[in-house]
Amino acid sequence: MRPGLCGGEGGWLVRSVAVTNAKGGVGKSTSAINLGAAMAELGRRVLLIDADPSGNAALGFFARGAPGIGLADALLDGLKLEDVAVSTESPGLDVVPPGDRLSLCSEQMGSAQGLGQGREFRIRRLLKGLTGYDVVVVDTSPVLTPLNVAILYAVSEILIPIDPCVAALAGVRALEDLIRTVSEFRMEFTDAGPLSIAGVLVTRADRTLVSKQIESEVRAYFGPLVYDRVVPISVKFREAYARGVPLIHYDRYCAGADAYREAASAYLGDPRVAAKVENEAEAAGDVAA
Ligand SMILES: Nc1ncnc2c1ncn2[C@@H]1O[C@H](COP(=O)(O)OP(=O)(O)OP(=O)(O)O)[C@@H](O)[C@H]1O
Ligand SMILES: [Mg+2]
């Protein structure tokens, strides 16, 4: 098995992406919900894992409350992700809720008690055993917890949503330091390669000068990794969320829906990533042969 890719049925390799940023309220959960739904619309079988104990991504599909069983039960009791995944009204998209005990898991990840040896690789093992999905999208909490670090050990790549407000890049630099450290550990202790940034999405953009200035700074800093379209600020996001429906279904043709669709297809069709996945699939075939 090659870096960062999980084994799926019939040797199919599952891409996994963590939507992450050390800053809070930048649109991580909204992006996980809508990118996941858009990838499902593009025909992929998507598993959205809500790895934030607050459960905001799961609530985006179950407005009246998500099931209490989820990722925590996979981590604590050895259930498979497939056993705790719940189908949604978005065809092709299942959700793993955080589970009521995810805060506990998050604490145990950072201590010698509870989850036991190798706990920081527990999520990686869960993803490696996963079958039946093409893409895994992981929503993360904004705090740099040991649980989030464990997610960074597990996934193929990360996608960074950035809210173009003052200090947006300061948060990103902190994240980059973490990516560097995690990459070193991944290469030393796992069969994964370095952690790569799949894309950067400017979210909650408005027409102010500050928004435009920060957007250009983000583009200057990350170059072609930044998706062309920005997600504009719109009250439709809150409306959709309150109804437990992804915006891309709630208001199919609004600018925000278009931006998420475009980012999803860029993520899936990125020739650099496609080439990487092909190479890895080939190499995995060589190993299996
Ligand atoms: N493009 C947008 N336009 C307007 N509101 C938005 C947009 N994107 C997200 N929001 C709203 O902004 C708030 C924060 O978004 P979201 O919960 O996705 O951020 P987050 O980064 O996941 O936050 P946290 O760090 O707390 O997990 C939510 O109320 C969400 O509905
Ligand atoms: Mg969130």
Q: Where are the domains of the chain?
A: 6-282
- Encoding tokens for residue 185? 């550990």
The arithmetic mean of pLDDT across residues 35-52, rounded, is 97
Residues measured by CB to lie within 5 Å of ligand 2, the ion: 28-29, 56
Whether 137 and 177 have beta carbons less than 8 Å apart is answered as no
Q: Please give the angle made by the CA atoms of 27, 79 and 19, to the nearest 5 degrees.
A: 15
CA-closest candidate to residue 19, choices 5, 33, 7: 33
> What does the block give as tokens for 19?
């939507």
Q: Is the pLDDT of residue 283 over 50?
A: yes
CA 207, 259, 226: angle at the middle one, nearest 5?
80
Query: How many angstroms separate the alpha carbon of residue 158 from the centre of ligand 2?
Result: 15
Q: Which amino acid is at 255?
A: A
Q: What is the CATH number of domain 6-282?
A: 3.40.50.300
Does position 200 have pLDDT exceeding 90, yes or no?
Answer: yes
Q: What are the angstrom distances between the C-alpha of 202 and each of 27, 168, 251?
A: 9, 10, 20
Closest CA to 161 of 95, 233, 236: 233
Query: Which of 26, 30, 245, 250 has most ligand 1 atoms within 8 Å of CB, for mutation?
Result: 30
Structure tokens at 126: 């869960």
- Confidence band (pLDDT; 50, 70, 90) for 288? very low
| Long-range contacts at 175-181 (CB < 8 A, ≥ 24 apart) | 175/20, 175/21, 175/22, 178/22, 178/144, 178/149, 178/152, 179/152
- Probe ligand 1: pick from 20, 23, 29, 230, max atoms within 8 Å of CB? 29
Give the global pTM.
0.89
Which of the four pLDDT bands, split at 50, 70 and 90, describes residue 282? low
